[in-house]
Amino acid sequence: MIAKVAYVRSRGASVAYHDYGGDGPTLLQLNNGAALMDLGGAPPRVSRNLERLARFVRLVCIDKRGVGRSDRMNLPLMDDAHVEDIEAVRAALGVERFALLAHGGGVAIALAYAAAYAENVSHLIVMSGMCCDAGNPEEFGAPEREEHWDRVLRTSRSHYSSFIEGLARQILPDGSAADQEDVRQHLERASTPADWEALWEGTIGMDQRLALSAIRAPTLVLHAVDDGIVQISHSRYIAEQVPDARLVELMSSAHQPLFDPAVAGQVLAEIEEHLTSTSIRSRERAIVAVLFTDIVQSTRHQRSSGDVSWRDFRERFERRAEHIVAEYRGHVVQFLGDGVLAEFPSGSDALDAARDLVADAQRQGVEIRAGVHAGEVYRVEDQLFGTCVTIAARVMAVAEPSEVLTTEVVSGLVEGTGIELEEPRLTELKGFGRRRVVSLRQ
């Protein structure tokens, strides 16, 4: 999709917004702090998910001043100008009411706008954001916060490259090396050290807790339970204080849930339900076997072979993977940077395909790890979501190189098929505690 980029003057600055059009309700998305969240500026996976979002809304992405194409006027996070910028874009679009979506560093601004201009906001959606400068909203004003921001500012000023690398890992801690590299490159392209410094300094002392009770729009609050950047206690507090709010806790550790293939489909479905009243519970449901794979040490391979050779390799790898999956009655749901998400009608099909994928990867000079689980999933267009998908991703994450790892659910389903499995072992699956997993005998 191609956006029409326009500007509006607001409080002495030119504020850019990207209008992707569409026939649905207008959804204004405020970018995330010092990063871009539009179809052209976001990392590839997020852009693909935003494109799906744009199928049922008129999507308009705002570049907060100091970020992207807007003027580089770095103001504190909660300067009134940020709130007035949203109002200026609304007026320029000629819409009376709209839905407002914000993530991370944009959430506090969205909360302030929804309270000050309650009559303009039809729906509010906030993801992974803070409502005040505190690790936990119930502990606002704790003295250790000053020490925390001192450390952050010192690191971002003196070791910016290391700071950005660490931030990318925190945003997507369970992601592949390739996906984390996508995030790092995006953060570097989207902003400068001064942008991040302004964001951190502007967060010190920020407090939007009193604004929450003034919000009148139906509000959807989304947050990963293991988010390592912003504690989920913030979203729980927001959901408790906003009069008409619903909290969805995501089984993920990603600060940006649209990065995590295990929950991205759920996020999109929850947003669609919130905006259109189309219940995700009425979606097509099915019991399937889900397979995740991941190339081991993909970043090292890419660096040693070079970008062009690695791109050619990836194209061949994906074609061969698609062929193998289809051989076993499967379907590739999507390619994930350096891995595959696929569904199968049976556990034995998924395990047989995983074994062949491991062997084929070895013949191509790389190793993959694979995880399989079976259960009920929801379908959202061409995506899958549900606890089954999340567990399959977590199982893959603890597999060894060239190992196909599955769950006791699948081992029970394939009894009598001739598939040989090792003895179960206990392991920690992030978000699910200790579970028994089973390795496919090679």
The tens digit of pLDDT for each residue in 46-79 reads 677 777 777 788 999 898 887 778 887 666 556 7
Q: Are 93 and 20 in contact (CB under 8 A)?
A: no
Using left for φ > 0, alpha for ψ between -120 and 50, and beta otherwise, residue 18 falls in: beta
* Average pLDDT score over the chain: 86
The tens digit of pLDDT for each residue in 219-231 reads 999 999 989 889 9
Q: Give the tokens for residue 426.
A: 């206990």
Q: Are 95 and 59 in contact (CB under 8 A)?
A: no
DSSP string across 374-442: EEEEEEETTEEESHHHHHHHHHHHTPPTT-EEEEHHHHHHTTTS---B---EEEEETTTEEEEEEEBP-
pLDDT surpassing 60 at residue 278: yes
Average pLDDT over residues 370-377: 94
- Long-range pairs, 145-154, Cβ under 8 A, ≥24: 145/204, 146/204, 149/200, 149/201, 149/203, 149/204, 152/200, 153/197, 153/200, 153/201
Q: What is the residue whose two structure tokens read 């913030």?
A: 234
Pairing outcome for strands 13-19 and 58-62:
antiparallel
Top-confidence residue, 435 or 134: 435
**Rounded (5°) CA angle 103-108-114:** 95
Q: Are 354 and 372 in contact (CB under 8 A)?
A: yes
User: Could you give the residue range(s) of every CATH 3.40.50.1820 domain in the chain?
Assistant: 4-282
Average pLDDT over residues 416-426: 93
**389 CA to centre of own chain:** 15
Average pLDDT over residues 289-309: 87
Alpha helices in 96-226, H assignment, sequence order: 107-116, 144-158, 160-171, 177-190, 193-203
pLDDT surpassing 60 at residue 378: yes
User: Could you give the residue range(s) of every CATH 3.30.70.1230 domain in the chain?
Assistant: 285-439
pTM of the model: 0.75
pLDDT surpassing 60 at residue 306: yes
CATH superfamily of 285-439: Nucleotide cyclase, GGDEF domain (3.30.70.1230)
Q: How many CA atoms lie within 13 A of 34 on its CB side?
A: 27
pLDDT surpassing 80 at residue 288: yes
Q: How many whole angstroms separate alpha carbon 240 and alpha carbon 72?
A: 36
Average pLDDT over residues 1-18: 86
Other Cβ atoms less than 10 A from the Cβ of 382: the count is 10
DSSP string across 233-282: HHHHHHHHHSTTEEEEEES---SSGGG-TTTHHHHHHHHHHHHH---GGG
The tens digit of pLDDT for each residue in 181-217 reads 888 887 887 777 877 777 777 787 888 999 999 999 9
Average pLDDT over residues 269-285: 76
Residue 410 phi, psi dihedral angles, 5° rounding = -70, -40
Q: Are 186 and 35 in contact (CB under 8 A)?
A: yes
The pLDDT-based confidence of 148 (bands split at 50, 70, 90) is confident
Task: Please give the pLDDT value at position 77.
Answer: 58
From the list 113, 132, 118, the residue with the least C-alpha distance to 62 is: 113
pLDDT surpassing 70 at residue 254: yes
Other Cβ atoms less than 10 A from the Cβ of 189: the count is 12
Task: Please give the pLDDT value at position 177.
Answer: 75
How far CA 399 is from CA of 160, 360, 394, in Å, comes to 33, 17, 9
CATH code linked to domain 4-282: 3.40.50.1820
Task: Please give the pLDDT value at position 17.
Answer: 92
